[in-house]
Chains A and B, each alone.
Chain A
Amino acid sequence: MSSDSTYSTNDSTDNVTKGTMMSSIIAILRRPEVGAFVGMLLVFSFFGYFGFDRNFLSPFGTSSWVNAASTVGIIAIPVGFLMIAGELDISIGAVVPAAKMSIAIACGHYGLPILMGLLITFAIAAFIGWVNGTIVTRTNVPSLIVTLATLFAVSGLTLFLSLLLTDRTTQALYSPDWAKELFGAYHFWGFQSSVFWWVGLAIVFFLVLHHSPWGNWIFALGGDKESARNAGVPINRLKIALFMLASMAAALSGVSETILSNSATTTTNFALIFNTIIAVVVGGVLLTGGFGTVPGIFFGTATLGIVQQGIGYTPFDRNLSSLIIGVMLLIAVLMNNTFRRMATTMSTTKR
């Protein structure tokens, strides 16, 4: 048997001490949330420069992209949690219109108080999330397929029930002042209420993921499900809770939009599905699960908002924003992969 000393003179000891300073700087730059932040700054500078003449940097220009980012961002963080835990939820594209129609029909059509409408809407959303989570944990069918199924099921049901109950696919809703203020009003600089929800929730979710035991469980779940189970993490309950959270976040986003615009439609929001996934991936969450950060997702969402809204403030063609997003997404995925490879092979034996 070899002694301690033979072991510790192993492979990369020397390299580690030599380049500590340099490598730690590189390590920081390579952290996905830092990458996402740098990406956001680059994109912001680009649009700030080319959009300067058309007031991209004015309060109105700022609130236009922040508002757009907030409706995606509220959903993107819980979807990011799911991705960290190794799952995906695309049913949110149907939960948003389902939530919009629920509150609009409950309060606009039947005249229930807003509070009741909110209760009903969030209960429905929680139920959809529970169904997603339960099917995924019981059957082990990949969540992409399960939530694809519920995406269609929920959107079909929304349309069917809307026609059955109100005979139409759009519904007006006029809300009392307090509900407007809280969920759907324009505040200073033109920021809508959902922006404050986004920022507030981001802080809460940040604390949950990075500073609470639950966050540790989410990472462990995505890192190695079986080990997490054996370590006593209630993995099925945790997964179901995460699906419920994503659904309820989608409902919040839908409710805010409905109260803001005073109307709801049944249209399934396919673009939102892609937008949340892009925000999460650009934000540095690994598609394979096990790693991701809330600040990263936040910056990723902001970047998406800047590109999608900012393009209108520049002389460039609108359609180019999709090109930019596509390129950005590819770069982000490549960077995330590099990060994972480096993190998992840093000082193991040379190959």
Chain B
Amino acid sequence: MSDRIPILELRNVDKSFGPIDVLHDITLKVHEGEVLCLLGDNGAGKSTLIKTLAGVYIPNAGQILMDGEPIQFRNPRDAHNRGIATVHQFGGTYPLMSIGRNFFVGVEPTKGWGPFKMYDRRRANKISIRELQEFGITRVDDGDRLVGGLSGGERQSLSIARAVYFGARVLILDEPTAALGVKQAAHVLRIVNEAKRRGLAVIFITHQVMHALAVGDHFAVLIRGSIAADFRKGEKSREEITDLMAGGESMADLESNITSDIAI
């Protein structure tokens, strides 16, 4: 494992907002065809960390390496162009736009020439539906449907399919399952596995241990902006992970939380 060159690597990265230190000395590797689960309590710095990877923030210190080469993302677009795709909780989709239009925002297929280039609706719809169906969303077959009418899981899937289609190499998912029911969440997890199978590196943020364990190959736990644990699948028990995720709360309290979580 360790001899492969990681797609993305952070070396001693610090990020602060003025006087507020949010990330300290983060060192982390992300490999192709692997799911990295980023765990941690609210405010631990998970979102800040992935925004640093996605070019939203520029680290105050430390290095980001892509394919072993030091790199600096100037802005989200830059990171995006290099294959880093972020999918947010609500999928980064536009509810009142059609599936085809959603899929191609910013990179619309056109027909015609010069100033008369027109948005090619038919092609956009065809490709977007094909890609969605390949991710197992078979009950959606009309590219003109408004995305707002899709379920939360379908919207997530659309965003992920979109990222994969446009050649993402690293897929960053910030709490994709947070707002979803059990079935929908299972579906998103399956799509995460599919993305991994296709060789993408996936960074997956979640507060749910079950979801993390279902897809994770590699786990990193953030506590107050530092990496408190970095381990691979099977190296720690579920109890240990849950404990770490809550930032070291007492086991007894956690147990009761977990049982009530599962009951829901």
Interfacial residues, chain A to chain B (CB-CB below 8 A): 1-2, 4, 6-8, 10-11, 13, 207, 211-213, 215-217, 219-220, 223-224, 226-233, 286, 290-291, 340, 343-349
Contacts and interface: CB of A to CB of B under 8 A. Distances in A.
Given A8-B139, A344-B95, A228 B105 contact: yes
Given A1-B190, A220-B106, A10 B151 contact: yes
Contacts of A213: 108, 110, 117, 119
Given A8-B138, A212-B119, A227-B105, 16 more contacts: A1-B186, A2-B187, A7-B136, A11-B151, A213-B119, A216-B104, A216-B119, A224-B93, A224-B94, A226-B88, A231-B92, A231-B106, A344-B148, A344-B149, A349-B151, A349-B184
B96 A348 contact: no
Interface of B: 54, 76-77, 80, 86, 88, 92-97, 101, 104-108, 110, 117-119, 121, 136, 138-139, 146, 148-152, 181, 183-184, 186-187, 189-190, 214
A178 to B, nearest CB: 26
Which DSSP category, helix, strand, loop or mixed, fits chain A's interface?
helix
B260 to A, nearest CB: 22
B97 A227 contact: no
B77 A230 contact: yes
A25 to B, nearest CB: 16
A347 B94 contact: no
B105 A216 contact: yes
Given A232-B77, A232-B106, A10 B183 contact: yes
A344 B96 contact: yes
Contacts of B189: 1
A158 B243 CA distance: 68
A231 B166 CA distance: 11
A121 B102 CA distance: 38
Contact of A227 (B92, B121, B214): B92
Contacts of B107: 231-232
28 contacts: A1-B186, A4-B136, A4-B138, A7-B136, A7-B183, A10-B139, A212-B119, A216-B101, A216-B105, A216-B108, A217-B106, A219-B96, A220-B97, A224-B94, A227-B93, A227-B94, A230-B54, A230-B86, A231-B106, A232-B107, A290-B97, A291-B96, A340-B96, A343-B146, A343-B148, A345-B149, A346-B149, A347-B149
B185 to A, nearest CB: 10
Nearest to B151: A348
B119 A343 contact: no
Nearest to B155: A348
Contact of B88 (A7, A217, A227, A286): A227
B76 A229 contact: yes
A331 B235 CA distance: 62
A211 B117 CA distance: 9
Contact of A212 (B77, B86, B117, B150): B117
Contacts of A2: 183, 186-187
Contacts of B54: 230
B96 to A, nearest CB: 4
B157 to A, nearest CB: 10
Contacts of B92: 224, 226-227, 230-231
Given A8-B139, A224-B92, A219 B97 contact: yes
A2 to B, nearest CB: 5
B106 to A, nearest CB: 4
Contacts of A347: 149-151
A2 B180 CA distance: 15
B106, B119, B136, most chain A CB atoms within 10 A = B106
Contacts of B108: 213, 216
A229 B86 CA distance: 12
B219 to A, nearest CB: 19
Contacts of B93: 224, 227
A206 B143 CA distance: 21
Contacts of B88: 226-227
Contact of A215 (B119, B136, B186): B119
Nearest to B189: A1
A345 B94 contact: no
Contacts of A345: 148-149
A207 B187 CA distance: 38
Nearest to A16: B139
B76 A346 contact: no
Nearest to A9: B139
Nearest to B162: A231
Contacts of A212: 117-119
Given A1-B190, A7-B136, A290 B119 contact: no
B104, B117, B151, B190, most chain A CB atoms within 10 A = B151
Contacts of B148: 340, 343-346
A230 B76 contact: yes
Contacts of B151: 10-11, 347-349
Contacts of B117: 212-213
A2 B136 CA distance: 12
A223 B136 contact: no
A82 to B, nearest CB: 16
Contacts of B95: 223, 290, 343-344
